[in-house]
């Protein structure tokens, strides 16, 4: 279930895709929390508590969009799908879900992308 998590070119079955989703989602949440805590400390020490909540929310959205784009790019590149507009649209949909803040959903299109074989591979 948790094999080859950093192998973006690997073709996963449903169970492995769920494992990939869970691990990357948890890694992202932990990284976002650590970065948010650092930002909170900086704003708290500056004494600007009114801007804390709005800034933290914007920071989280930006981090989610960038993280989704990076993972999507790594998956598309590893699977030779960068020239296929349908898969690029799937990554953009995932980024859109990250933008609107649907935290549990934004990695689902990327997890689905991990189930695809490498373009040009004889397995298709």
- Please give the residue range of the domain that contains residue 41: 14-113
The count of domains in the chain is 1
pLDDT recorded at residue 27: 86
- pLDDT reading at 105 higher than 50: yes
Q: What confidence tens digit (pLDDT) does each residue in 27-49 have? A: 888 888 888 788 778 777 777 66
In a domain, 5, yes or no: no
In a domain, 118, yes or no: no
User: Would 89 be classed as within a structural domain?
Assistant: yes
8 within domain boundaries:
no
124 pLDDT more than 50:
no
For residue 124, being part of any structural domain is answered with: no
pLDDT surpassing 80 at residue 102: no
The answer to whether 29 and 104 are in contact (CB under 8 A) is no
| Residue 85 covered by a domain | yes
Look at 121 and 86; give whichever has higher pLDDT. 86
Give domain status of residue 43, yes or no: yes
């Amino acid at each position: 279930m948790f094999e080859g998590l950093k192998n973006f070119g690997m073709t996963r079955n449903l169970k492995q895709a769920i494992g990939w989703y869970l691990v990357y989602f948890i890694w992202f949440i932990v990284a976002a929390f650590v970065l948010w805590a650092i930002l909170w400390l900086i704003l708290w020490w500056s004494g600007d508590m009114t801007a804390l909540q709005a800034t933290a929310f914007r920071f989280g959205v930006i981090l989610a969009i960038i993280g989704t784009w990076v993972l999507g790019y790594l998956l598309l590149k590893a699977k030779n799908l960068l020239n296929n507009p349908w898969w690029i649209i799937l990554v953009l949909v995932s980024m859109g879900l990250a933008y609107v803040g649907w935290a549990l959903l934004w990695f689902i299109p990327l997890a689905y992308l991990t189930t695809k074989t490498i373009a040009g591979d004889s397995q298709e």
